[in-house]
Amino acid sequence: MSALLPHLRDISLKSGEVLHNPGETLSHIYFPTSCVLSVILLMRDGAGVEIGTTGCEGLSGSVAIMLGTLVAPSQTICQVPGAAKCLPLDAFQDAIRNGSQLRELTQKYARASVTLMGQSIACNRLHTLTERCARWLLLTHDRVRGDNFSLTQEFLAMMLGVHRPAVSIAAGALQQAGFIRYRRGQLTVVDREGLESASCECYRVAMGQLNGNSASH
């Protein structure tokens, strides 16, 4: 994997920055270091919902690469601003040929990502908005490695596939319970254990998958 080092480029990503749109040919992959990326499924009317998230445990585009396609099936955007490493796709493909360790790690992470997409679908159907909101905040908290991160209500509403008034109620309930503090687009996790108690079972399932199939860098 040391052969990749000359090709890696350090970049800084802004919240909401689009890395690629559906149908676009992938040219680069991204390894988040302090940022968090979201995979968004877009509808014809422009509405979207998050179906996957990538932080420092993984890389963008793993599922598409392992399926042998260079076309992005969904939109990928920066969810939480921060640093990442950018790598030309052809350099990555060269590195994962011939059964390398990097290929094995990428396959494991891609399988975990697909499993978590299915879990997300079930969660969106079966669990309350407050539980889903707590789950999302916990997964983001794990990835940013800090108690504070930037987050607008509009962005959280898009991630959860609901209108802003609904997410305001859910986040307000978590804040009233003393689990989080939200002010002017900045969210602080105040009571981690309390936030876990408010989440659905899907958070623990997600963490089991990510911890067991990390491509951490």
Q: How far is CA 157 from CA 56, 130, 206, in A?
A: 23, 12, 20
Tell me the CB-side half-sphere exposure of residue 167, using CA atoms within 13 A. Answer: 20
Q: Tens of pLDDT along 44-94?
A: 877 778 888 899 989 998 888 888 888 888 899 998 899 999 999 999 988
What average pLDDT is seen over the chain? 87
Going by C-beta distance under 8 Å and a sequence separation of 6 or more, which residues neighbour residue 176? none
Domain boundary among 76, 96, 124: 124
Structural domain containing residue 181:
128-199
Within-domain flag for 211: no
Domain boundary among 124, 155, 187: 124
pTM: 0.84
Q: Are residues 9 and 116 in the same domain?
A: yes
Q: Tens of pLDDT along 157-200?
A: 888 888 889 989 999 999 999 999 988 889 999 999 999 999 99
Residue keyed to tokens 């260079």: 70
Q: Are residues 40 and 116 in the same domain?
A: yes
**% pLDDT > 70, the chain:** 94
- More confident site: 45 or 139: 139
- More confident site: 15 or 208: 15
Q: In CATH, what number is assigned to the domain containing residue 62?
A: 2.60.120.10
Within-domain flag for 27: yes
Alpha-carbon distance of 98 to 154, in angstroms, equals 44
Residue 1: per-residue pLDDT: 59
Residue 213: per-residue pLDDT: 59
Q: In CATH, what number is assigned to the domain containing residue 181?
A: 1.10.10.10
The structural domain count of the chain equals 2
Q: Is the pLDDT of residue 98 over 90?
A: no
Residue 99: per-residue pLDDT: 63
Within-domain flag for 73: yes
- For 51, the token pair is 């179906």
Going by C-beta distance under 8 Å and a sequence separation of 6 or more, which residues neighbour residue 44? none
Query: Amino acid identity, residue 145?
Result: R
